[in-house]
Amino acid sequence: MLLSSCAAAAQITVLRDAAFTALGMVIDTPPSALVYCEHERYLSLIESNPAVACVLTSAALADRIPGEMGVAVTATPRRAFYELHEHLARQTDFYGVTHPSAIAPTAEIHSSASIAVTNIRIGPGAIIEPHVTLLGRVEIGEGSVVRAGSTLGSSGFEFKRLGGRIVSVTHAGGVRLGAGVELQANCAVSRSIFGGFTALGDETKLDNLVHVAHGTSIGRRCLIAANAMIAGSVVIGNDVWIGPSSAISNQVHIGDGASISIGAVVTRDVAAGERVTGNFAVPHERFLAHLRSMR
């Protein structure tokens, strides 16, 4: 889509036209994305990010946007960005076309499950237990199990203060489960915001009452114990253990084979194979050494 084609909807002035295929944040950017920039401290991130195709910004910053990127200006870039997102989500097929839901003949669906009539795909041998709710765009892979009371594809917690109001941001993406995934009872997985999917890789297992927020990507064969809370845009590698009642802050990256101890509060990236413990979480041996020093 060209910037010029949506100028009227977002009330922006295009200075340098260019095409984009996605919307995103400066620090969490899909390829060929439109982002917004309200402060000069983000200019270095934009300059170094090859995924950025177009920028909504102020007139004062427009000349500092790299020449290969499209530029549009407005007095309120952040507000214009979300207004454009709402327009694209509600009035266009920018984030994907609607299709009838498709359920494989060998899938087992309980009669009390609530499944949207559009944009749901359930693969062969999948099991959907009582009182499961599937909303938005949800894809469930072969042999995956969604146990009683879980909800997939609901809107996440994304509200913005715009123009003196608190505005709920439309979630235009979906949820994708790989093959052999299992969600135990009363899990909640929110769909992503700017298209794409909140994704769980093959053979990953979630215990009861796990929350996975919008845009998170979880790798293969992960084990996530009860009451864990994983915030938005988290990236988790393969073979990760996340202990009961752990909390993972937004945009954290957790490497392959990492281990998050029971009750840990993770606010920084965790390296592959690293084990972290505590609030705020630190390397496990360092945490034990600190405990010994206090005793």
Q: Which residues are catalytic?
A: 214
CA pair distance 276, 269, nearest whole angstrom: 10
CA neighbor of 237 nearest in space, from 218, 259, 213: 218
Q: Which residues contact 177 (CB under 8 A, 6 or more apart)?
A: 139, 140, 141, 144, 146, 152, 183, 199, 200
Q: Is 85 helix (H, G, I), strand (E, B) or coil?
A: helix
CB-CB neighbours of 141 under 10 Å:
21
CA 229 and chain centroid, separation: 13
DSSP strand pairing (165-168 vs 159-162): antiparallel
CA pair distance 199, 209, nearest whole angstrom: 17
Tokens of 134: 């599937």
- Look up residue 235 and give its amino acid: V
The DSSP letter of residue 169 is: P
